[in-house]
Chain A
Amino acid sequence: MQTLTQFYTILHKDLLQELRSKEIITAMLVFSLTVVVIFNFVFDPGSAEMRTTAPGILWVAFIFAGNLGLSRAFAREQENSMMQGLLLCPVDRSLLFTAKVIGNILFIGLVEIITLPVMIIFFDLAIGRAWPLLLAILFLGTAGFATVGTIFSAISANTRSREVMLPIMLFPVTVPIILAAIKSTSYLLAGRETADIWPWLRLLIGFDVLYFFVCFLLYEYVVEE
């Protein structure tokens, strides 16, 4: 019961802080919408090229915006050594990690929910009845990225140039997740059968689970001095 209370308390605090400062969401949203708007002007309206490249553009917007958010989220926790304050609480490190991951998924997810309709309108995408699957792909891609991002933002926060270090460490490791997410999204938007999408989804789920458990176990050693 105490564990659940601690989990909820950390998550609630992160959301309340963001609700007041709006610094993470605003930065991510401005970035992702800018990407979508800029790429909209690269292609002819309604062209096949536009629809083909849309999944890549979508994930570029989400991944880079997510990187921006992750970097800021952990940096904020370093101000006034608040992370140290959290670590001094009688809270299990794995619980702390899980709460941070969920918080990051919510922040990136909110940006995706706002950006996606804009993308659909600008790129003239037909989702049809594939909505649930598209949302599932977005969730799985975001969850994997946020999981690895949470641990790497903790590592990079202690380095001198954390804004540079985070993407350098994060992007190579998340390549399987990003590839699987882009492939499944492009197959889905191209109207391919679920059977074609499934291998990429399996890869996405596999890496999500693998990364979550590895990061879950390593977090304690990462945050320790």
Chain B
Amino acid sequence: MILTRDLRKSFGQVQALAGLSFAMAEGELAALLGANGAGKSTLLHLLSGLSRPSFGSAEVAGFDVRRQPQEVRRRIGVVSHQTFLYEDLSAEENLHFYGRMYGVAGLQKRSDELLAMMELWPRRTDLVRTFSRGMQQRLALARAMLHQPTVLLLDEPFTGLDLHAIDLLTRFIEEASAGRVTVLMTLHDPDYALAHSRRLFVLHQGRLVIDQPSEQVRKGDILPFFREK
């Protein structure tokens, strides 16, 4: 589902990613950890086609991110700490907007389902600007799942959420993974990553220093890499 080969990204003299090679299978749930500036967000941006690799290649859902970015975008759902939601539109209008952009069939039914699942049904006609941070992030996840992506890329999805919202999002991510959706999420919290992911990546100065099943990793193995370079 995700395959990278010697993936590199530089911004001028700064090398953000220094040759990443890894593969993720269908339905895999992996956490990507690292200090600020380690290259986590850069990796997600490359995988989602928001920026181009400087060298190497990446495939998502069987499509090359450089040559077939449209096909990649059709198959991925992205959630970041920014919600990508329009505050002057209602929850339902936001989902309908994105649904039309993705050409989702049976949009009304699909959006109703997701609004109910995210416990936002009673507030569906309210403007997003009136939502709490947790509600906005739940709606962002509904937006990302609207077109039934096969790969979910989550960039710090729990930033600023309360416990209930974290719990709801965790359940949803685990269900998505059980439903054969490949999930790669960047996190700052090693405890959460160890408890909820099945595979753990740690990035340090643009290099993958840990790539192991989560149960084989101890918190002490990760912490030295949490210092900014």
Contact = CB atoms under 8 A, between A and B. Distances in A.
Nearest to B70: A90
A109 to B, nearest CB: 21
Interface residues of A, number: 25
Contacts of A92: 70
B38 interface: no
A128 to B, nearest CB: 42
A202 interface: no
A77 to B, nearest CB: 9
B103 interface: yes
Q: Taking chain A's interface residues, is the majority helix, strand, or loop, or is none over half, making it mixed?
A: helix
A81 B74 contact: no
Interface string B70-81: 110110101010
Contacts of B49: 88
A61 to B, nearest CB: 27
B108 to A, nearest CB: 15
A176 B93 CA distance: 41
29 contacts: A5-B103, A6-B100, A9-B100, A13-B89, A13-B97, A16-B93, A20-B89, A80-B83, A80-B85, A81-B80, A81-B82, A84-B82, A84-B84, A85-B85, A88-B48, A88-B50, A88-B76, A88-B78, A88-B84, A89-B73, A89-B101, A90-B73, A90-B101, A90-B103, A91-B101, A92-B70, A225-B45, A225-B50, A225-B51
Interface of B: 45, 48-52, 70-71, 73-74, 76, 78, 80, 82-89, 93, 97-98, 100-103, 127, 143
Interface of A: 2, 5-6, 9-10, 13, 16-17, 20-21, 79-82, 84-92, 224-225
